[in-house]
Amino acid sequence: MNLDLLYIAIEDELRKQVRRLAEPITQSFHDMLTYHMGWTGEGAGVEAQGKRIRPLLLLLSTAGCGESWLRALPAAAAVELIHNFSLVHDDIQDGSEKRRGRSTVWAVWGIPNAINVGDALFVLANQAVLDLAKSYPAEVVVQTSTIITNACLDLTRGQFMDMNYAGRGDIDLEVYWALIRGKTGALLAACTHGGALLGGAQEDRREAFRSFGEHLGLAFQAQDDILGIWGNENVTGKSVANDLLDRKLSLPVLYGLSKKGKFAELWQKGPIPPAEIGRAAELLAEDGAHEYAKQQAGELTRRALHALEAARPDGEAGQAMFQLANRLLKREQ
């Protein structure tokens, strides 16, 4: 399957949806959105646009159920707009000045405008979903909208936990999984679930697609946590052990803290000096956190692939889904 064609169609649909703001009186508002989407301004281009994984998964799910992905394009645009709405607000909430190598929206136009840019991306996502009414019965539009909206509520829940629990030393693994499910799993599940619905799949097949998206998200996140501590800088593009420096309460760290061993002792003393990060990563591994996290990521990967097999995506789209899943889940450490 020629994914390039899908990428072009996704970008085209996204531009069309965002263009609703391209009136003369709100032209510079439109500019803020097109900047964030990676189409205009300094550093614009493919690198700045992100990987568009969510719309791709949605369209492949539709095509994998034997339907044309063309009709599902507005939904693909919707999930990508929601992802980007959450990124714009996230960057304010985290105080991140850079994303994909460029200044974030709030860093360029200030917090008040950035809040409004995020809000507008969310509204445009809602409008994109409603555009499905041009090619699907109203019942299907309502069902798709329900799937996506439920994922959005989970996003805000996950964001709440991230901002209010993640800074505390006493969160447990249960909270970690709820947080990851909200921030990463829910929207990916909505992509494959919604895609299958728009592909005309029956309920049990839709559920298999949904489960694939959710576990893909969880597995990816667990891997990301491992790479954030023991990853190879040259492969991930992140500096090694950044997560320990940032005191991110990732899966291995939470496991390590629960062990109350030497790593926990070091962590509880406060920020770890850069020179001791390597040693901290070793202590954490000695406490079994590396093994545990790899085992969790492996189990989630198995579940994701098992769900994908149960979903039986058809033809070239199906092949492309397995390839994509393998590419996302078998990243180099």
Q: Does 156 bind its own copies (CB under 8 A)?
A: yes
Is residue 271 within 8 Å of 196, Cβ to Cβ?
A: no
Q: Does 139 bind its own copies (CB under 8 A)?
A: yes
Phi, psi of 26 (to 5 degrees): -120, 25
The residues, any chain, with a CB within 8 Å of residue 21's CB and separated by 6 or more, are 29, 30, 33, 120, 124
Q: Does 18 bind its own copies (CB under 8 A)?
A: no
Q: Which stretch binds its own copies (CB under 8 A): 139-147, 183-191, 197-205, 206-214?
A: 139-147
List the one residue from 142, 166, 266, 310 that touches its own copies (CB under 8 A).
Answer: 142
Q: Which is nearer to its own copies, 157 or 247 (CB)?
A: 157
Q: Does 97 bind its own copies (CB under 8 A)?
A: no
Q: Which residues pair with 99 in a beta bridge?
A: 102
Is residue 208 within 8 Å of 310, Cβ to Cβ?
A: yes
Closest CA to 226 of 245, 246, 242: 242
Q: Does 21 bind its own copies (CB under 8 A)?
A: yes
Q: Does 93 bind its own copies (CB under 8 A)?
A: yes
Q: Does 26 bind its own copies (CB under 8 A)?
A: yes
The residues, any chain, with a CB within 8 Å of residue 179's CB and separated by 6 or more, are 158, 161, 162, 165, 166
Q: Does 108 bind its own copies (CB under 8 A)?
A: no
Using DSSP, state whether 48 is helix, strand or coil: helix
Q: Does 135 bind its own copies (CB under 8 A)?
A: no
Q: Which is nearer to its own copies, 58 or 92 (CB)?
A: 92
Cα distance between residue 138 and residue 196, in whole Å: 17
Q: Which is nearer to its own copies, 32 or 56 (CB)?
A: 32
CB of 257 to its own copies, least distance (A): 19
Q: Encoding tokens for residue 4? A: 């390039």
DSSP 8-state symbol, 95: T
Instruction: Enumerate binding residues for its own copies (CB under 8 A).
Output: 20-21, 25-26, 28-29, 89, 92-94, 111-113, 115-116, 118-120, 122-124, 126-127, 130, 133, 137-139, 141-142, 145-146, 149-150, 152-153, 155-157, 159-161, 163-164, 175, 178
